[in-house]
Amino acid sequence: MTVVLAKARRIRGRLRGEDGSVATETVIAVPLAMFLILIVIHAALWIHANHVAESVATRALSAARVAGGSAETGEETGRQAAAQVGAGVLLDPTIRVERGAERAQVEVTGVAPRVVPLLDLPVHAAADGPVERFVPDE
């Protein structure tokens, strides 16, 4: 019986040295897990903002390159698309449209929403294509 009691005392002595270790591990692990979750959400919002910027660039290009279209028409269409599709996702959008005799180019820039403090991720999309024009048959 005394041997059993001695072993029980040794086990209790070992366990007393680890009091609070679970709390310490939790204090370290929970904030780290929360930070990783926020990073994943931030990355997902950045990817979504890039897709929105690509959509805005495509719509602006479509308006700028049609016969009778202009760079101003493309920019206005891009602003409308950014307001409709990108509200809250594409922050501070800048839409630049250039239209020449042969090609039209659109560049959309902005910022993704911030989830993690001090981490601003830029968003950029570009599109270009030939200008539509009437070519009569000879």
Question: Does some domain include residue 12?
Answer: no
- Single pTM value for the model: 0.76
Question: Does some domain include residue 16?
Answer: no
Q: Say how many domains are in the chain.
A: 1
> Residue 68's pLDDT is what?
85
Range of the domain at 116: 22-130
> Residue 25's pLDDT is what?
78
CA distance 69 to 13: 84
Question: Does some domain include residue 135?
Answer: no
Contact 132, 66 (CB under 8 A): yes
Question: Does some domain include residue 2?
Answer: no
Question: Does some domain include residue 137?
Answer: no
> Residue 123's pLDDT is what?
96
DSSP letter, residue 113: P
pLDDT tens over the chain, length 138 residues: 666 666 666 665 555 555 566 777 788 888 899 999 999 999 999 999 999 999 999 999 999 999 888 999 999 999 999 999 888 899 999 999 999 989 999 999 999 999 888 889 999 999 999 998 877 887
> Residue 15's pLDDT is what?
54
Residue located via tokens 């310490």: 24
CA distance 137 to 135: 7
Question: Does some domain include residue 11?
Answer: no
For residue 31 the two structure tokens come to: 């904030």
β strands within 3-90, DSSP E:
none
* 25 CB burial (10 A radius; 0-12, 13-18, 19+): exposed
